[in-house]
Amino acid sequence: MDNQIKTAAEAAEADALPRLHEVHSDPTQRNAAQQPVPKSVTDTPVTKKSPAQWAYERVVVYLKNFEEQLDSEHEVAMGFVGGNAGVLRIEGMGYFDPDIVTFYGADGDGTRMQLVQHVSQLNVALRALPKATGPAPANRIGFRLIQDLEADRAAAPPKTDSSQDA
């Protein structure tokens, strides 16, 4: 315990900020705790987020960290435990408040898949798969998800009908 005196606001803010701590047997192994947590994740106090949003934001941080360690010939995928579901090459991710997280993608054969998971059952095993065949660069969904988190949430929604153009 430190002997610093904090105002009530500082104490509440410290409680609301995400904490992240990791230790690996290889001290040179890069981990998510060494990455800056996106400002968009810390802007809203945890108490104001649904379990789904909070789980989504943290998985995105881990996805990006995992992808940063991949070479250009590999992409991130999820492995499944139990059953014979195999892996899902992650192409998208989302959440549905208050408690659902979903992953979109394809299996190793290219068959479309979607995992819909309750946050209380959330387990994500990240795997490196060889990138899909072809000249296109490896897909980096974690980077796109971080960009989405960092996008200006205050931007006005796009107009849906031309009558608003006045």
Q: Where are the domains of the chain?
A: 27-149
One DSSP character per residue, 100-147 reads EEEEEEE-TT--EEEEEEEGGG---EEEEEEPPSSSSPPP-HHHHHHH
Give pLDDT tens digits for 13-64: 555 555 666 776 777 777 777 777 788 888 888 888 899 998 998 888 888 8
Is the pLDDT at 165 greater than 80? The verdict is no
CB-side neighbour CA atoms (13 Å) of 67: 23
- Average pLDDT on 107-127 reads 87
Give pLDDT tens digits for 135-164: 788 888 888 888 888 874 434 344 344 444
- Average pLDDT on 65-92 reads 84
Enumerate the H helices of the chain as residue ranges. Answer: 8-16, 39-43, 51-68, 141-150
Is the pLDDT at 89 greater than 70? The verdict is yes
